[in-house]
Chain A
Amino acid sequence: MSAPIKNPAAETLPRPAGLAGLAADWASDQRTFKNVSWGKAMMWIFLLSDTFIFGCFLLAYMSARMSTTVPWPNPSEVFALEIGGTHMPLILIAIMTFVLISSSGTMAMAVNCGYRRDRKKTAILMLVTALFGATFVGMQAFEWSKLIIEGVRPWGNPWGAAQFGSSFFMITGFHGTHVTIGVIFLLIVARKVWRGDFDTERKGFFTSRKGRYEIVEITGLYWHFVDLVWVFIFAFFYLW
């Protein structure tokens, strides 16, 4: 991260707050996001674009479900499991939701420890987060296999509207891909933290620049976003 050119006046003068601050930050020839590094600002912009992608998927699902003349399969029953002889509606999805929320919690803790420069705790919490993420993907793989065995295909299924399968595979598949990439991202950053790259200011492999503990927060932004998307998928696809 190259440091922006220092402007002594901008450093010393207090920046206006509220709406006046909004206008001042966006006005004229200057850096807009004042106290956010480029890495973090760009992660936010990327997440914004990803929001539109998932928004379009959910919209496509909504349109398909609203315009079909055939009844939509009941997700509560489709995703039910028999556990110890009792019939539990939607239980696997509920467990997956709790796993992902737990991973978000450990990630938030990791960011906190990172900024306190607690190397070991940060790395361990990130690894725990990655483990929860991998568990989530594993449960999703189980869910996919179960539905495929039961005859769900992108072009049809035994219970109703044919679009159910394509919506399901598209939305959860794309989300699962995000989780998988997140796990890889977490493992890479956790390794760097564990090795002490950000304490010894070791230069990065690709960038040849010194990393900072801020990368833990940027990784965290991505991870929390994955959890955020699941909140919407859980509500609109599984519960609706």
Chain B
Amino acid sequence: MAHAEAHAAQAVHGAHAEQQQHPIKLYLLVWGLLFVLSAFSYLVDYFGLQGMLRWSLIVIFMLLKAGLIVAVFMHMAWERLALIYAIILPPLLVLVFVALMVWESNYVLFTRLVFFGSGG
């Protein structure tokens, strides 16, 4: 692939093995995809989709966009695993925090309904 060529050219330079050089075409492709995905997520709202369909579409488009930005624009796809895991794994632990707060929020809502009466 064109990547291999870019990396080969990079290896020849040697002195700056750290730099990231990738074909412009790839950036343009990702740019276009980000535009399309953003348009899709806007359309979810425009057409007024509701419920699980709305939420799952929003999250799918969000994750795809985030993945493209991190992998290609931030060059994460070409880094070594040592860096990828150091950066990607810790934020996943936030999901534990999310689970805790969902639990807590449900409890807070329950107490509010009980003590403030309905519609508090």
Interface set of A (CB-CB < 8 Å, partner B): 15, 18-19, 21-22, 25-26, 32-37, 40-41, 44, 47-48, 51-52, 55, 59, 62-63, 66-70, 76, 89-90, 94, 97-98, 101-102, 104-105, 107-109, 111-112, 115-116, 212-214, 217, 220-221, 224-225, 227-228, 231-232, 234-236, 238-240
User: With an 8 A cutoff between CB atoms, is B77 at the interface?
Assistant: no
A48, B87: Cβ atoms closer than 8 Å:
yes
Q: Give which listed residue, B20, B22, B83, B112, contacts A33 with CB less than 8 A.
A: B83
> In the complex, what's the smallest C-beta–C-beta distance from B86 to chain A, in angstroms?
8
Interface size on B, residues (CB 8 A): 60
A231, B109: Cβ atoms closer than 8 Å:
no
List of B residues within 8 angstroms of A67 by Cβ: 104-106, 108-109, 112
A115, B113: Cβ atoms closer than 8 Å:
no
User: With an 8 A cutoff between CB atoms, is B62 at the interface?
Assistant: yes
Closest 3 CB pairs of A and B: A25-B82, A66-B105, A235-B62
Query: CA A47 – CA B70 in complex, angstroms?
Result: 12
A108, B31: Cβ atoms closer than 8 Å:
yes
A59, B82: Cβ atoms closer than 8 Å:
no
A69, B69: Cβ atoms closer than 8 Å:
no
A224, B79: Cβ atoms closer than 8 Å:
no
A231, B65: Cβ atoms closer than 8 Å:
yes
User: Across the two chains, which residue of chain B brings its CB closest to A234?
Assistant: B41
Q: Which of B1-36 contact A (CB under 8 A)?
A: 16-22, 24, 27-28, 30-31, 34-35
User: Across the two chains, which residue of chain A brings its CB closest to B10?
Assistant: A115
List of A residues within 8 angstroms of B83 by Cβ: 33, 36, 41, 44
Query: CA A107 – CA B74 in complex, angstroms?
Result: 10
- Residues A76 and B20 in contact in the complex (CB < 8 Å), given A33-B82, A36-B83, A44-B87: no
List of B residues within 8 angstroms of A35 by Cβ: 17-18, 79-80
B18, A40: Cβ atoms closer than 8 Å:
yes
Q: Which of B32-59 contact A (CB under 8 A)?
A: 34-35, 38, 41-42, 44-46, 48, 54-55, 58-59
Residue among B28, B46, B72 with the most chain A CB within 10 A? B46
> In the complex, what's the smallest C-beta–C-beta distance from B23 to chain A, in angstroms?
9
Q: Give which listed residue, A21, A40, A55, A112, contacts B82 with CB less than 8 A.
A: A21
User: Across the two chains, which residue of chain A brings its CB closest to B118?
Assistant: A69
Binary flags per residue of B64-105, CB closer than 8 Å to A gives 1, else 0? 011001101111000111110111001100100110011011
B73, A48: Cβ atoms closer than 8 Å:
no
A59, B69: Cβ atoms closer than 8 Å:
no
List of B residues within 8 angstroms of A101 by Cβ: 31, 34-35, 38
- Residues A105 and B27 in contact in the complex (CB < 8 Å), given A48-B87, A231-B62: yes
B18, A214: Cβ atoms closer than 8 Å:
yes
> In the complex, what's the smallest C-beta–C-beta distance from A184 to chain B, in angstroms?
20
- Residues A239 and B58 in contact in the complex (CB < 8 Å), given A66-B106, A69-B116, A101-B31: yes
List of B residues within 8 angstroms of A66 by Cβ: 102, 105-106, 109
User: Across the two chains, which residue of chain A brings its CB closest to B34?
Assistant: A101
20 A-B contact pairs sorted by A residue (CB < 8 Å): A25-B81, A33-B83, A44-B87, A59-B101, A63-B104, A67-B105, A67-B112, A69-B113, A76-B48, A90-B46, A98-B35, A104-B69, A214-B19, A217-B20, A217-B75, A227-B73, A234-B41, A235-B41, A235-B62, A239-B41
